[in-house]
């Protein structure tokens, strides 16, 4: 049953469901879904672990780790918005999704992706102040400042993506409702419309610029400033120490942005099979959230030291419990 909605003397035809194509004619696709289940399990454990560590370790109650918690939460929520529904959809042949659920899925997927991008920018701001203005770092990068930055990022993300999704409601779908993607992706959905989709096309470019390319350019600019500041440091040991504080962030930036840029590049090549783009896109959105907490744990000395302190505290507490029970008896 097709729904006809009248708005401002104009009628819009909404389909009851969309059909998510996903991987068609892909051999042994079920093994890929098993891999995604593994990725999701590691993502939950890793991001929960890093958030719990930051919460319990007082040494990590700083402005920088407010942004790290925001990144971990965005990674966790973004994966939760995608993987369980995706696995259920294709593993159990539930590839139809209602119109409202499609728009909700689109909103949350793009929202958490933009928050990951913006949070990496916030962490770049932290690093550029720490290295270029070390004496003023604690005066500039405060908890209040970081919470305000993250708050502004949330408002921008909600605003731009609400507009992105709301423009879909002004489209009429009178033909195919098969979405050539693994979720209700904005581009494949608006291209199915029968009426003019030019505003949606413009909004797609605006979203890409605001949420992806502008943060990437600002991060590149910040590392240009960091490189110039490091060049002025005469002592090689101090230079290496300063560079070491940036390694985890640089790896996160590379893992997040390079696959996205490759997806944009692949989208411009017409000779590739659609499944190649779809697989590359879903790996882009699932693997970085899994690896982010692992990299921050292994590459950040502050986090490693805090984990060791917490482990010793738990070990001592565990050893003291039998002694307390004996004393009570």
Strands 10-14 and 96-98: unpaired
Distances (CA, A) of 140 to 44, 112, 144, 221, 246: 33, 27, 10, 19, 19
How far is residue 158's CA from residue 108's CA, in Å, rounded to a whole number?
A: 9
Backbone angles phi, psi at 7, to 5 degrees: -145, 120
Domain 3-328 belongs to what topology?
Rhopdopsin 7-helix transmembrane proteins (1.20.1070)
User: Residue 91: CB partners within 8 Å, gap ≥ 6?
Assistant: 30, 33
How far is residue 226's CA from residue 230's CA, in Å, rounded to a whole number?
A: 6
Domain ranges of the chain: 3-328
Strands 17-20 and 178-179: parallel
Sequential pLDDT tens for the chain (329 residues): 555 554 555 567 888 999 988 776 666 677 777 888 899 999 999 999 999 999 999 889 999 999 999 999 999 999 999 988 888 877 777 889 999 999 999 999 999 999 999 999 999 999 999 999 988 999 999 999 999 999 999 999 999 999 999 999 999 998 889 998 888 999 999 999 998 899 999 999 999 999 999 999 999 999 999 988 888 876 767 778 778 878 888 999 998 998 888 877 766 555 556 666 777 778 788 989 999 998 887 778 888 888 888 888 877 766 656 555 555 65
How far is residue 154's CA from residue 188's CA, in Å, rounded to a whole number?
A: 26
């Amino acid at each position: 049953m097709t729904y006809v909605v009248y708005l401002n003397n104009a009628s819009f035809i909404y389909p009851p469901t969309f059909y998510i194509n996903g991987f068609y004619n892909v051999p042994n696709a079920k093994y890929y879904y098993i891999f995604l289940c593994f990725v999701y399990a590691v993502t939950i454990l890793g991001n929960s672990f890093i958030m719990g560590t930051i919460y319990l370790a007082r040494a990590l109650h700083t402005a920088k780790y407010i942004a790290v918690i925001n990144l971990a939460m965005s990674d966790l929520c973004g994966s939760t918005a995608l993987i369980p529904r995706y696995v259920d959809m294709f593993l159990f042949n539930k590839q139809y999704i209602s119109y409202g659920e499609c728009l909700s899925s689109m909103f949350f997927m793009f929202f958490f992706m933009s928050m990951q991008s913006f949070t990496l920018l916030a962490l770049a701001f932290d690093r550029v102040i720490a290295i270029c203005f070390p004496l003023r770092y604690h005066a500039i990068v405060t908890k209040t400042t970081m919470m305000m930055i993250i708050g502004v990022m949330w408002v921008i993300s909600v605003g731009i993506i609400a507009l992105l999704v709301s423009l879909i409601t002004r489209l009429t779908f009178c033909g195919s409702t098969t979405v050539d993607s693994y979720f209700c992706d904005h581009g494949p959905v608006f291209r199915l419309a029968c009426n003019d989709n030019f505003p949606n096309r413009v909004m797609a470019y605006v979203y890409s610029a605001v949420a992806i390319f502008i943060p990437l350019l600002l991060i590149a600019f910040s590392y240009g400033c960091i490189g110039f500041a490091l060049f002025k440091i005469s002592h090689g040991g101090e230079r290496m120490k300063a560079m070491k504080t940036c390694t985890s962030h640089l790896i996160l930036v590379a893992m997040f942005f390079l696959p996205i840029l490759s997806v944009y590049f692949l989208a411009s090549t017409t000779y590739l099979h659609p499944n190649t783009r779809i697989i590359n896109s879903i790996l882009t959105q699932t693997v970085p959230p899994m690896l982010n907490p692992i990299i921050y744990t292994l590459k950040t000395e502050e986090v490693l030291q805090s984990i060791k302190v917490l482990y010793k505290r738990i070990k001592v507490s565990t050893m003291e419990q039998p002694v307390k029970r004996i004393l009570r008896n």
